Amino acid sequence: MVKLTHVSKSFGEIKALVDVSFEIKKGEFVFITGPSGAGKTTILKLILREILPTSGQVVFDGEDIVNLPQEKVPYLRQKIGVVFQDYKVLPERTVRENVEVPLAVTGVNPDEWAARVNQVLKLVGLDKRSELFPAQLSGGEIQRVSLARALVVNPKLVMADEPTGNLDWETGDAIMELFEKINKEGKTVIMATHNKHVVERLKKRVIELKDGKMVGQTRVKSEGEEKVEEKKEEEPRQEEKSQEKPKMKVKVEEV
Amino acid sequence: MKIHLKTALDYIKRSPFQALAALFVLTLTFFVGTILAVLVYSSANLLNYFETRPQIITFLKDEITPENVSALQNKLSADVRVKDVRYVSKEEALEIYKQATSDNPLLSELVSPTIFPASLEFSVTDLSFAQEVINEIKEEGIVDSVGFTASLGGEKTLEDVVGRLRTLTLYLRIGGGVFVGVLAGTSLLVILVITGMRITTRRGEIEILNLIGATPAFIRSPIILEALIYSSVGAFVGWLLAFLIWLYATPALIGYFGDIPILPKGTLNLFGLFAIILVGELIIGLGLALSGSYLAVSRARRNR
C-alpha cells in the first residue's frame, strides 16, 4: 500500500528525514512514533504529496507519487483520508456540511450524500450533532468530525497526525477505539503520535523515528503480544553504546 | 454546483459591504451602458432618417408631358447613385401644402394646384454624390430648377444637418465607448480586488480543500461563481433601471421627435431592443467576472 525507499528530506540545513525505508501493507495499522521533530509529520506529508523528498522514492497504491504530475495530486489525495492534529475542519460549515465536502470533491452523486454522511456520523457518534457548527462542539467531537470527513469517501488509506494530541485521555481513548474499529473493517491506518499510552494500548506495528532517522520498528501479530520482527536501524554512537539500550528492545519488552 | 453556490452566497453574506461595493459599481456600469446603447441606436436611426429623406427635389416645367416625366424618372431610377425616386404631381403638391398649413386653412384656400410645379423627389445613396447629380439633372430640358429639401435648424442644406448628426453620432459613440470602457475597467478591478481579498481571507479553507483532494477547479468554483453573481445581478439591475427610465421618457421622446423613429415602433419591438441589450450586457458581465476572477486566482497562485 505504502512504500518508502531510502527517503531523505531536508529543509535547508535541517535534515527532517534521513534514509528512511519501510513498507506498509494493505489493512495494516501502523504507528509512527518519536519525539517532536523526529520526522513523523514529514512522512505523512510526503505520502500526501504535500512536500517532495530530497531523495528517495515514495510509492502509494503502486504509484510513484514523487514523480506524479501536479494535476494528478488531488486524485491521489482523494484516496487518502487524513485526520489532522489541529482538526482542519471548516469553521463556517456545519458538521454535516464538513463531512459532505469530500463527497463533493470526489464527485459522489448528491443523492448518495445523506446516506453516507449519516452512516459515518453514526460511526463516530455525531449523528445527533450533525447540524451544529464546529464552534459548538468539544475538541473530541471536532476530532470526530475530522475523522468522519476522512472516512466518508471510503479511502484506501487513513492517516492521522497526532489525533489525540489535543484531547484528554478519555476522549483520546474513544477516538483510538474508532481507529481500531476502522482498521478491523479493513482500512489501512497510519498514525503519527508521540503518545506512548496510545501505542502501548493498541499493540500495533510501530515505526520509531529519532532526529529524522528510523531507529527501529516492531511488528505485533495480534493482541497475544507476539513479537514478529525486531529491527534496529540505527547503530548508537560508540560512546552511547555502553549506556543506552536499543530503544526498540525496550519497547518490545514492554509489549 | 449546489455546494459551490451555497459557498458563494455565504461569502457574499459574510462580507456585505464588499458585495454592495461590487454591485454598485457593476450596476452603474451597466446602467450607463444601457443608456448609451439606446442613445447609439437612436442616433443611428436619427441619422438614417435624415439620410434617407428625399434630399433633392427637381421642379419640372409646366409644359412637360407624362412621357417626358416617365423618361426622366426611369433614367433616375437606373442611376446607382440615386434611390427612392418619386413623382409628385401638382395636385399632390397642393395636398402637401394643405397639410403643412393645416393650422391656417385660409392659406390653403387661396391657392390652386396650378401654382405648384410637379416635381421628382429622390435621395442619393451618399450625400457626396448630391452635387454632381444636381449638376447633371439641371441639364435636362424639362427641369425648371433643382434644390435640396427645406433647411432644418437654421442649416442651409440637409447635407449640413446630416454632417452635424454624423459628427454628433461619432462623438457619442467614441465618448460613450470610452466612458463605458473606463467603467468596465473599474468593474474589472473591483471584481479582481474582491476576488483577491476573498482568496486571502479564505486561505485556510483553500488549504484544507487542497489537502482533502479538491482540484483547483473545485476550489476556484465558488470564487468565480461569486464574481458571476455580482456581474449578472449588476447587469440586470443596471439594465432594469435604464429600461424603466427609457420607458418613462418614451412618450415625451416620441412626442418631441414625431415621425423620426428614434426608438423602435411598437411595444414588442422596444422590448426586443432592450432584451438584446440585456443579453449583450449579461455576456459582457460574464466576461468581466471570468476575467477578473481568473486574474485574481492566477495572481494568488503566483504569489503562493
Nearest CA in chain B to A50: B211
A96 touches chain B (CB under 8 A): no
Residue A145 in any domain: the answer is yes
Same domain assignment for residues B141 and B23: no
Does some domain include residue B230?
yes
d(CA B163, CA B160): 5
Verify whether the Cβ–Cβ distance A101 to B209 is below 8 Å. yes
Q: Which residues of A touch B5 (CB under 8 A)?
A: none
**Which residues lie closer than 8 Å to B81 by C-beta, 6 or more apart?**
B124, B125, B126, B129, B132, B133
| Residue in the block written with cell 482498521 | A183
pLDDT more than 90, % of chain A = 43
Report DSSP letters for B31-63, one per residue. HHHHHHHHHHHHHHHHHHHHHTS--EEEEEPTT
Give me the long-range contacts of B263-269 (CB less than 8 A, separation at least 24): B263/B38, B263/B41, B263/B42, B263/B45
Higher-confidence residue: B301 or B64? B64
Number of domain units in chain B? 2
So what's the ipTM on this one? Answer: 0.79
Residue B129's CATH number: 3.30.70.3040
Among B89, B116, B148, where does a domain finish? B148
- Is the model more confident about B264 or about A250? B264
Nearest to B215 among A48, A74, A79 (CB): A74
Fill in the DSSP letter of residue A28.
-
Residue A250 pLDDT > 70 = no
The residue type of B162 is: V
Q: Which of A41, A48, A75, A101 to mutate to test the interface with B (most CBs of B within 10 A)?
A: A101
**Judgement on whether residues B211 and B292 belong to the same structural domain of the protein:** yes
Lowest model confidence (mean pLDDT) among A184-193, B1-10, B144-153: B144-153
Residues A75-119 have pLDDT tens digits of 999 999 999 888 899 988 899 999 999 999 998 888 999 999 998
Whether B74 and B10 map to the same domain: the answer is: no
Q: Does A174 touch chain B (CB under 8 A)?
A: no
* Structural domain boundaries, residue A141: 82-155
Q: What is the pLDDT of residues A139-191, one digit of tens each?
A: 888 988 998 999 898 888 999 998 887 777 777 788 888 888 889 888 899 99
Same-domain check for residues B211 and B296: yes
Verify that B26 and B143 share a domain, yes or no.
Answer: no
Q: Which of B148, B171, B188 is the last residue of a domain?
A: B148
What is the arithmetic mean of pLDDT over B236-259?
A: 89
Q: Is residue A146 part of a domain?
A: yes
Q: Please give the grid coordinates belonging to residue A163.
A: 489525533
Asked whether residue B153 is domain-assigned, the answer is: no
Sheet containing A14-24, strands listed edge to edge, beginning at the edge strand earlier in sequence? A14-24, A2-11, A55-60, A63-64
Beta strands A227-231; B56-60: pairing state: unpaired
Contact B213 A100 (CB under 8 A): no
Percent over 70 (pLDDT), chain A: 85
Give the bridge partners for A11, in sequence order: A14
In a domain, A118, yes or no: yes
The answer, for A149 touching chain B at a CB cutoff of 8 Å, is: yes
Asked whether residue B28 falls in the same domain as residue B174, the answer is: yes
Q: Which residues 37-76 of A have a C-beta within 8 angstroms of B?
A: 48, 50, 74-76
Residue A88 lies in a domain: yes
Domain assignment of residue A133, yes or no: yes
**Domain assignment of residue B129, given as a range:** 54-148
Is B166 part of any domain?
A: yes
pLDDT at A145: 93
Count of domains forming chain A: 1
**What does the pLDDT average to over A46-66?**
92
DSSP-derived 3-state class of residue B17: helix
| B245 within a domain of the structure (yes/no) | yes
Q: Provide the H-helix boundaries in chain B.
A: 2-14, 16-51, 66-78, 90-100, 105-109, 130-138, 158-201, 203-211, 216-257, 267-303
Q: Is residue B88 part of a domain?
A: yes
Which residues in chain B have their CB less than 8 angstroms from residue A101's CB?
3, 209, 212
Separation between Cα atoms, residue B214 and residue B289, nearest integer Å: 22
Contact A176, A202 (CB under 8 A): yes
Measured at the CA of A215, the angle between CA A211 and CA A220, to 5 degrees, comes to 135
Q: Please report the pLDDT score of residue A134 as a whole number.
A: 93
**Domain end position, chosen among B83, B118, B148:** B148
Tell me, yes or no, whether A34 lies in a domain.
Answer: no
Min Cα distance B209 → chain A (Å) is 8
- The Cα–Cα gap between A127 and B243 comes to 52
- The closest CB to that of B211, out of A48, A79, A110, belongs to A48
Q: Could you tell me if B132 and B45 lie in one domain?
A: no
pLDDT digits (tens, 9 = 90+) for B54-76: 668 888 888 888 888 888 889 98
Chain B residues contacting A via beta carbons under 8 Å:
2-3, 10, 14, 205, 207-216, 218
What does the block give as the cell for B143? 427641369
pLDDT for A137: 92
Check A80 against B215: CB less than 8 A apart.
no
Query: Where is pLDDT greater, at A197 or B149?
Result: A197
Question: In this structure, are B199 and B271 located in the same domain?
Answer: yes
Tell me how far apart the alpha carbons of residues B216 and B239 are, in angstroms, rounded to a whole number: 34
The percentage of chain B sitting over the pLDDT mark of 90, rounded to a whole number, equals 15
Both B163 and B175 in one domain: the answer is yes
Residue A222 has pLDDT above 70, yes or no: no
Residue of chain A with shortest Cα separation from B214 = A105
Q: How confident is the model at residue A255 (pLDDT cuts 50, 70, 90)?
A: very low
Closest by Cβ to A104, choosing from B3, B14, B205: B3
Q: Indicate if B167 and B273 belong to the same structural domain.
A: yes
Angle between helices A110-123 and A95-105 (to 10 degrees): 130
| B233 vs B132, higher pLDDT | B233
Q: Is residue A144 part of a domain?
A: yes
Q: Which of B3, B10, B214 lies closest to A100 in CB terms?
A: B3
pLDDT at B106: 73
Whether B172 and B283 share a structural domain:
yes
Q: Is residue A126 a part of any domain in this protein?
A: yes
Average pLDDT, chain B: 83
Whether residues B125 and B196 fall in one domain: no
Average pLDDT over residues B122-135: 79
- List, edge to edge, every strand of the sheet that includes B143-148: B82-88, B119-124, B56-60, B143-148
pLDDT at B156: 55
